[in-house]
Amino acid sequence: MMSFNVLIVVALAYVTLLFLVAFWADRRAREGDANWLSSPWIYTLSLSIYCTGWTFYGAVGYAARSGLEFVTIYLGPTLVMVGWWWVLRRLVRIGRAQRITSIADLISSRFGKSTQLGMIVTVISVIAATPYIALQLQSVTLSFAVFAELEGASWGDADFNVTAMWTAVGLAIFTVIFGTRNLDANERHHGVVMAVAIEAVVKLLALVAVGVFVVWGIAGGPDQMLDRIDSSEIVLWNQDSGRWISLIFLSAAAFLCLPRMFQVLVVENADERHLHVASWAFPLYLFIMSLFVVPIAVIGLDLLPTGSNPDLFVLTLPLNEGQGGLAVLSFLGGFSSATSMVIVATIALATMVSNHIVVPIWLRRHTSQQAVMSGDVRRVILLSRRLTVAGILALGFLYYRMSGGGTALAAIGLISFTGSVQILPALIGGIFWRGATAIGAGAGLVTGLTVWMWTLFLPSFGTDAFIGQEIMDHGVYGLTWLRPQALFGITSLDPLVHGILWSMLLNAGMFIICSLITFPTPLERLQGAQFVNVFDHSNATSAWTAAGTGAEDLLIMSQRILGGIEAQALFEQETLRQGKIGYLPEVTPEFIERLERELAGSVGAATAHAMIGQLIGGSNVSVEDLIAVADEAAQILEYSNRLEEKSEEQERTARALRSANDKLTALSIQKDAFLSQISHELRTPMTSIRSFSDILREGAMEDDEQQRYAAIINAEAVRLTRLLDDLLDLSVLENGQVVLHEQTGNLSDLLDRSVAAAGLHDGVLSVVRTPSAENLVLTADLDRLAQVFINVISNARKYCDADNPELTIRLHRIAKDYVIDFTDNGSGIAVENQELIFEKFSRVSDESKAGGAGLGLAICREIMQRLGGDISYVTDNTGTAFRVTLPFTAVVATLEET
């Protein structure tokens, strides 16, 4: 027989395996190798978090008690999936077009990026999810207890509580590590999805294994099994038809509205085409999951002693037949179902709480604060998500303790579903009906929440917990039509059907009526048109008009949310798209629109809108836009669309040309200046050489005087040679005649050499480095590379204008490439000069300070391009920063890995 300790070891080993898989998948995704991670099969398997621990164990118990009714829980999602063309396809397209992060974000974004609606949806979701998480803790705890009792131990309350607590703690750790590690622009969690997919396979295998054992091992084949179903005392069909239809509707709606389902269905969806496969593969998964439920229930009722808990038949039946191994597999299945649901649910809820409650409040408090730091919003979001994960699990645990973990808890699964489903009218109305307004949605949601609380949630705690028997029988203040389970005097309905019916009717009614009589704000109408007509024009109508702000401010704000490197990459990409070179794009309305969506992918639509609004100064919807929306003259827009496309293309070319022209003009001026400069540079040493050699030729002078003049002549000649060498070097590099000498060496040594050679011994400039982080073995022309480093370092020595000049050299990775940033604390280079510094003959500062002829950076750039890398100027908040991108092929290995 299985000992309890072996079971603990197996469970821990399984959890370790999941950690490793999640870690590995995250790593593969980070290295840009996420293609196979986002296959339609992984997507389908991740949907299986719909089958929780409650359904894994509870379905059999449900079947033993109420017959075929259990199957409604799976039939609803099946209908939604096979009808994917109607709703799911639209939701996924909207989710991608609008960078939706959660169901709260969808509702808030649709109704004019409203903060309040986001909060309401978040609150509903948290309240509805808490009992469900408690249920999962209960199912894990009960299954542990089954094994403990095998050894004769009888578990008391304390044992149950300790087990539930440790389960909750473990889940919190896993979720914080893999679910809140990053803040990507699209909110995907590869590690978690991979672990969930594995758990999906385990739970399917476990249930099928028990089912196969029951049908072929005990009953003796399908035919005998059907006979046994016929002769069993089980009652398969006794519910009233209202319950059958209501439950199918309820589970279908919950499948769309549960935050965790929305997360895997819409947010984690990497490709719309995955729906093609999932549309039949996921119903098939559900089909297999429920195929053996009735056989297990029938055989369990036959073989196990009367009074045994049918909720645990999946475990106790194999144990009763002496199949210890099968029981452990089944335990792992139940464990997987419970844990995967809790992990995804807490991630989804944490995203909602941080984006729709914490950040709006934090922003409101910090509006006046001008000292912005890169990544500060990001830190607040991540911290609040971690705390929320822990908080939600703690709530689930508390609920479990308060409810006593008995059968009372099991009944609340469907009640919790009904709570989540209150979002349905706003969701469906929002994506199909342009007339839906924020006030309507808010009224519907609040009404639905209230009715649900009154008719189902509060009574579920038991009589006299919140609502006394007196009120249940006679209503509040004697108003009998307000009785929680007989609203408006209708007493003949099943309490659950009653609750579903009234909450949905009143919710949808309020939503429609208030939408009809209110008038939406301009932003709501814009968003409404975009959501409802998502297939017609995925191109947005611009909501931002005149942009009275600088690209630099926008960059600083983006850095607060996304972090420095990501924000810079985003801006650089946009600059490229506009056909320019550099880091700061032109601030066009389209760019602001795109940026807002990008930010919305991290912090939600409402917050992103508010933050950009702060910068732009609220100049969003113009009169023209209003006319475009209000007037159905949008037909005319369609005609002009094509013209617009063409003119957009021309505009892009024109912008590129203008930029090129500006550069040429500037260069021409520089070149003229350079010509006079170089003749000056050449003439000055020449003049002194000539005059001093004249003096020498006349003779008759002291020895030391003679020495001095000779030294001057020599120094001037050296200067001339250096100038000519530079010119020669550049022309060799440019003509591609250069021969590279490949060597292998350590980057740290190379930097040591470069710092030493840059002439820093005068102590003017101090260098900050972390040698331990520079362990990188390179194969390239190291002398040439050193030449670049020396040039950049000595530039910093010459030009850094801070009181205590300081140069920071830091190595880090951007995607696949290693880059070295040389950042000093001076005042940086003015924007208008940033494009010119790499051109030959260009000099930014006044000549007196510079020793060379403005060729150094041009040479550096040529060298880096010959080596296959790059050097560029980085727009940064602090001083001048040059970024040297090491050639990809040059990096042999990092030392930690060898």
Which one of 78, 101, 346, 872 is in contact with another protein (CB under 8 A)? 78
The Cα 753–Cα 894 span in angstroms is: 20
The single residue listed with the structure tokens 């939706």 is: 100
Q: Residue 59: what residue type?
A: A
Which one of 37, 209, 294, 426 is in contact with another protein (CB under 8 A)? 294
What's the closest the beta carbon of residue 805 comes to another protein, in angstroms? 50
**Nearest CA-CA partner of 261 in 177, 174, 349:** 349
Q: Which is nearer to another protein, 470 or 638 (CB)?
A: 638
**Nearest CA-CA partner of 99 in 178, 188, 28:** 188
Q: Can residue 599 be called a binding residue for another protein (CB under 8 A)? A: no
- Pull the structure tokens for residue 397: 């645990």
CB 753 within 8 A of CB 786: yes
**Nearest CA-CA partner of 345 in 219, 432, 257:** 257
The Cα 348–Cα 356 span in angstroms is: 12
Q: Which is nearer to another protein, 237 or 477 (CB)?
A: 237
What's the closest the beta carbon of residue 62 comes to another protein, in angstroms? 15
Q: Can residue 79 be called a binding residue for another protein (CB under 8 A)? A: yes
- Tell me which stretch binds another protein (CB under 8 A): 10-18, 155-163, 232-240, 807-815: 232-240
Size of the site for another protein (CB under 8 A): 49
Is residue 332 classed as helix, strand or coil in its secondary structure?
A: helix
Q: Can residue 81 be called a binding residue for another protein (CB under 8 A)? A: yes
The Cα 214–Cα 795 span in angstroms is: 79
- Pull the structure tokens for residue 761: 């011994």
Which one of 166, 216, 466, 535 is in contact with another protein (CB under 8 A)? 535
Q: Contacts by 357-364 with C-beta closer than 8 Å and gap 24+?
A: 357/119, 357/122, 358/384, 358/388, 359/384, 359/603, 359/604, 359/607, 360/115, 360/118, 360/119, 360/606, 360/607, 360/610, 363/607, 363/610, 363/611
The Cα 331–Cα 309 span in angstroms is: 16
What's the closest the beta carbon of residue 301 comes to another protein, in angstroms? 13
Which one of 20, 162, 273, 845 is in contact with another protein (CB under 8 A)? 273
- Pull the structure tokens for residue 213: 């054992």
Residues in 471-500 that interact with another protein by CB under 8 A: none
Which one of 11, 25, 47, 80 is in contact with another protein (CB under 8 A)? 80
Q: Which is nearer to another protein, 533 or 619 (CB)?
A: 533
Q: Can residue 85 be called a binding residue for another protein (CB under 8 A)? A: yes
Q: Which is nearer to another protein, 539 or 706 (CB)?
A: 539
Rounded to a whole number of angstroms, the distance between the first and last alpha carbons of the chain is: 47
What's the closest the beta carbon of residue 269 comes to another protein, in angstroms? 15
The Cα 521–Cα 629 span in angstroms is: 11
Q: Which is nearer to another protein, 232 or 894 (CB)?
A: 232
Could you tell me which residues come within 8 angstroms of residue 893 by beta carbon, excluding any fewer than 6 positions away? 777
Which one of 536, 631, 694, 783 is in contact with another protein (CB under 8 A)? 536
Is residue 549 classed as helix, strand or coil in its secondary structure?
A: coil
Q: Can residue 253 be called a binding residue for another protein (CB under 8 A)? A: no
Q: Can residue 216 be called a binding residue for another protein (CB under 8 A)? A: no
Q: Can residue 631 be called a binding residue for another protein (CB under 8 A)? A: no
**Nearest CA-CA partner of 596 in 578, 583, 614:** 614
The Cα 135–Cα 142 span in angstroms is: 10
Q: Which is nearer to another protein, 3 or 539 (CB)?
A: 539
Which one of 142, 196, 248, 349 is in contact with another protein (CB under 8 A)? 248
CB 434 within 8 A of CB 527: no
- Report phi then psi at 235, rounded to 5: -100, 110
- Pull the structure tokens for residue 475: 């209503």
Could you tell me which residues come within 8 angstroms of residue 859 by beta carbon, excluding any fewer than 6 positions away? 726, 729, 730, 733, 787, 791
Q: Can residue 247 be called a binding residue for another protein (CB under 8 A)? A: no
What's the closest the beta carbon of residue 242 comes to another protein, in angstroms? 9
Binding mask 633-662 for another protein (x = CB under 8 A): -xx--xx-x---x-----------------
Q: Which is nearer to another protein, 649 or 705 (CB)?
A: 649
Q: Can residue 75 be called a binding residue for another protein (CB under 8 A)? A: yes
Q: Can residue 49 be called a binding residue for another protein (CB under 8 A)? A: no
Binding mask 122-151 for another protein (x = CB under 8 A): ------------------------------
Which one of 291, 408, 627, 764 is in contact with another protein (CB under 8 A)? 291
**Nearest CA-CA partner of 95 in 332, 267, 212, 314:** 267
Question: Which segments of 574-722 are extended strands (E)?
Answer: none
Which one of 3, 407, 491, 539 is in contact with another protein (CB under 8 A)? 539
- Tell me which stretch binds another protein (CB under 8 A): 110-118, 162-170, 279-287, 652-660: 279-287
What's the closest the beta carbon of residue 553 comes to another protein, in angstroms? 30
What's the closest the beta carbon of residue 243 comes to another protein, in angstroms? 10
The Cα 570–Cα 565 span in angstroms is: 9
The Cα 431–Cα 454 span in angstroms is: 29
Q: Can residue 283 be called a binding residue for another protein (CB under 8 A)? A: yes
Q: Which is nearer to another protein, 197 or 293 (CB)?
A: 293
Q: Can residue 690 be called a binding residue for another protein (CB under 8 A)? A: no
CB 46 within 8 A of CB 268: yes
Could you tell me which residues come within 8 angstroms of residue 50 by beta carbon, excluding any fewer than 6 positions away? 77, 255, 258, 261, 286
The Cα 291–Cα 60 span in angstroms is: 11
What's the closest the beta carbon of residue 385 comes to another protein, in angstroms? 32
824: which strand partners?
807
Which one of 227, 464, 648, 832 is in contact with another protein (CB under 8 A)? 227
The Cα 830–Cα 91 span in angstroms is: 46
Alpha helix (H) residue ranges in 258-305: 259-262, 274-291, 293-303
Q: Can residue 277 be called a binding residue for another protein (CB under 8 A)? A: yes
What's the closest the beta carbon of residue 251 comes to another protein, in angstroms? 12
Q: Can residue 212 be called a binding residue for another protein (CB under 8 A)? A: no
Q: Can residue 221 be called a binding residue for another protein (CB under 8 A)? A: no
Q: Which is nearer to another protein, 235 or 711 (CB)?
A: 235
What's the closest the beta carbon of residue 53 comes to another protein, in angstroms? 23
Which one of 279, 330, 384, 403 is in contact with another protein (CB under 8 A)? 279
- Tell me which stretch binds another protein (CB under 8 A): 2-10, 274-282, 345-353, 819-827: 274-282
The Cα 129–Cα 349 span in angstroms is: 9
The Cα 821–Cα 805 span in angstroms is: 16
Q: At what angle do helices 324-353 and 190-212 cross, to 10 degrees?
A: 150
Q: At what angle do helices 4-30 and 157-179 cross, to 10 degrees?
A: 10
> What is the CA angle 626-630-635, rounded to 5?
105
Q: Which is nearer to another protein, 541 or 659 (CB)?
A: 541
Question: Which segments of 650-795 are extended strands (E)?
Answer: 743-746, 766-769, 776-780
Q: Which is nearer to another protein, 85 or 481 (CB)?
A: 85
Q: Can residue 628 be called a binding residue for another protein (CB under 8 A)? A: no
The Cα 386–Cα 384 span in angstroms is: 5
What's the closest the beta carbon of residue 83 comes to another protein, in angstroms? 3
Which one of 1, 12, 201, 245 is in contact with another protein (CB under 8 A)? 245
What's the closest the beta carbon of residue 249 comes to another protein, in angstroms? 10
Q: How far is CA 798 from CA 143, 808, 838, in A?
A: 72, 15, 17
- Tell me which stretch binds another protein (CB under 8 A): 409-417, 430-438, 535-543, 792-800: 535-543
Residues that bind another protein (CB under 8 A): 68, 71, 75, 78-86, 226-227, 229-230, 232, 234-238, 241, 244-245, 248, 273, 276-277, 279-281, 283-284, 287, 291, 294, 533, 535-539, 634-635, 638-639, 641, 645
